[in-house]
């Protein structure tokens, strides 16, 4: 099951408020690139009839059924990579560049 960290959920809610998208779902999409890595897309959208609907940390996430196998077991986090550079990261065990988080 795909899930958000608390930090990612907080940032998603802030982004929704800033863009006037409160009440909309977070739509996710992914595709595997030829080198085994993944490309991710996300935005706010209304739930469609064929969508898979997931709840994580109080955020509604929707995706088309074809993305479920690509995003299953993925954790989306919001982290600081460099000083002042915070961004969403996808921790996906199916991605060729995946490294398990250190304990």
Q: In 10 A of CB 69, how many CB atoms?
A: 11
| Cβ-contact 71, 65 below 8 angstroms | no
Q: For the chain, which residues make up each domain, given as ranges?
A: 3-91
Q: In 10 A of CB 38, how many CB atoms?
A: 19
> Please, which residues bridge with residue 56 across strands?
59
Determine the pLDDT at residue 103.
56
Query: What are the strands, taking DSSP E only, across the chain?
Result: 3-4, 25-32, 38-45, 52-56, 59-63, 75-82, 85-91
> Does residue 102 surpass a pLDDT of 80?
no
pLDDT in tens, 35-63: 999 999 999 999 999 999 999 999 999 99
pLDDT in tens, 62-88: 999 999 999 999 999 999 877 878 899
DSSP state of 99: -
| Cβ-contact 60, 53 below 8 angstroms | yes
User: What topology is assigned to 3-91 in CATH?
Assistant: Hypothetical Protein Aq_1857; Chain: A; (2.60.300)
Q: What is the mean pLDDT of the chain?
A: 94
pTM: 0.89
First-residue to last-residue Cα distance in the chain? 21
């Amino acid at each position: 099951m795909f899930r958000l960290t608390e930090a990612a959920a907080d940032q998603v809610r802030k982004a929704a408020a800033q863009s006037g998208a409160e009440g909309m779902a977070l739509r996710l999409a992914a595709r595997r690139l030829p080198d085994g890595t993944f490309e991710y897309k996300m935005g706010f959208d209304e739930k469609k009839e064929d969508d898979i609907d997931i709840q994580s940390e109080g955020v509604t996430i929707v995706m088309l059924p074809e993305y479920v196998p690509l995003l299953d077991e993925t954790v989306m986090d919001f982290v600081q990579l460099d000083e002042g550079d915070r961004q969403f990261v996808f921790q996906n065990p199916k991605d060729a560049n995946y490294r398990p988080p250190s304990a």
